[in-house]
Amino acid sequence: MIIKNVMSKLFAVMLMSAVAVIPGMAVAATGDTAQTAAAPAAAPAAAQTAEQAPADAAAPKEGEAPKIDENTTVQVQLPYKYTSERYGYTIMCPGKPEVVPASFFDDTAKGDVLIFHGTATDINKAWIILINAYDEADVPDNLGTLPEEEKRATIEKFCKKFNYADASVVDLGDNRYGMYAITAKELDVDTNGDGKFDDVVVASNQMIKTYLKGAFGGHFEITLLDNPTLSPMGIAFYNAGLATFQQWPTSRYQEFLDSAKLPKKKKK
């Protein structure tokens, strides 16, 4: 498929500004005092627990989204620490999410869907966190230290392989880097298999996906789902949350990795 990048100039500025300011733009308040989004969350002591605050306190209201440019600082609050014992990670959130297994939507997926607004059958705002989500060949562990020319080539190859409209390498703080990508709005498709593109599929919305390596070797994908369209505040919350993501060791994570290597059973 050939990707047509149809991001408007305004949206491109909004998105790229958000990318450039991890951790600079989105200032995350995880307690009484605001801190930069790059500040790591503390290691969890128990599964599925949190320092909880009401979700509505952090949720942006309609019409409150600020204009985003390179000089904008967006204040966000992330009062809830979500901990997954099953997959071994923590992330600070804008409120207590409804958590649905990623396998509910795709039986091959391993991870969680953190729903902040909506339901499992009608999601408005959510973060999707998947484990074992990419190969090192696609997102190298040394992504942040690659020479600029090699980095650009890696990004271009990544976008072409996975049909992304655009991507960038982002610094998440604490010597951590990720591949930050936006899905394409339009795709040229070959509907009859003759090798010629004869139709265009238009996505109802675009998503932002970040691929990053955890402290204990996990390959995670964290997706922003923000309907009906990506919003400045949705991006700001997501960016701030990214910088708080932490992996911690769990035998369950390794069990899932080992099971993924087993040969698939043939359907009768």
Ramachandran bin of 103, using left for φ above 0, alpha for ψ from -120 to 50, beta for the remaining angles: alpha
Q: What per-residue confidence (pLDDT) applies to 60?
A: 42
**CB 254: neighbour CB atoms within 10 A?**
14
Domain ranges of the chain: 2-254
How far is C-alpha 70 from the chain's CA centre?
A: 21
Residue 241 has a pLDDT of 97
Element (H, E) at 152: helix 148-162
Burial class (CB in 10 A: 0-12, 13-18, 19+), 104: exposed
**Tens digit of pLDDT for each residue in 228-253?**
889 999 999 999 999 999 998 876 66
The β-bridge relationship of strands 2-4 and 186-189 is antiparallel
Q: Which of 262, 237, 261, 257 lies closest to 247 in space, CA to CA?
A: 257
Q: How many Å apart are CA 219 and CA 229, to the nearest integer?
A: 27
pLDDT tens digits, residue range 93-129? Answer: 999 999 999 999 998 899 999 999 999 999 999 999 9
CATH of domain 2-254: 3.40.1000.10
Which pTM was predicted? Answer: 0.70
